Structure 1
Amino acid sequence: MTENLLQIAYKALDDKRAEDIVVLNMQNISLLADYFIICHGNSDRQAQAIAREVQEKAQENGFEIKRIEGFDSARWILVDLGDVVVHIFHKDERAFYNLERLWGDAPQLDIPTVE
């Protein structure tokens, strides 16, 4: 079920042309979620469109949105889907927070996109 949610979220990001999508396996590393997905958009509007797409696709497939934070400022939007947490950055903010380095001990996954 979590893997299905991971696929749905990844495809939503890909559909809205999110850039540099990274999936971190957080199992045995963090109690917050099993997976983090990190990406960025090139503008506030794109970051918001990406977040909306993730929310809509998750809900269409019967998954609950726990919470969304940062949507209005669109600098770092967090979409909490429970076992999967999606971090959508504005391009300028991503390098500053550098979550990939912060969670450097988490293995990165390759997610094949399903058409």
Structure 2
Amino acid sequence: MKVKRIMANTATSDLDKADRFYGDILGLERLMDHGWFRTYGSHETMMVQVSFGSEGGSGTPVPDLSIEVDDLEGALSRFQQAGVPIEYGPVSEPWGVRRFYVRDPFGKLLNILQHE
């Protein structure tokens, strides 16, 4: 058996919040829409990964999702323009990433990062 894909699922009664946050701010495409379940993503080739931790590094909580971007400052600007509070950072970490934390509309803690 080979794992082909891992998808994170979040329960919500307001799917439009996902559109605004993951579509408008993060720029993900709506790949599937059943009316009651929507999937957002990118056609970028990605590795299958699942991470586990006792902390998020630098004394931060473990984030629910880590999202790697190609332009951290651009992502930061989009979140700030949308009025999304930055909970940590932006900071360059000793393990070679620059990152910040935000919460999505469903309370999930997101680690937005770029490898330096």
Q: Which has the higher contact order (CA 8 A, sep 6+)?
A: 1
TM class by smaller structure: 0.3 to 0.5
Bigger helix share: 1
* TM-score, scaled relative to structure 1: 0.42
Give the TM-score of the pair, scaled to structure 2.
0.42
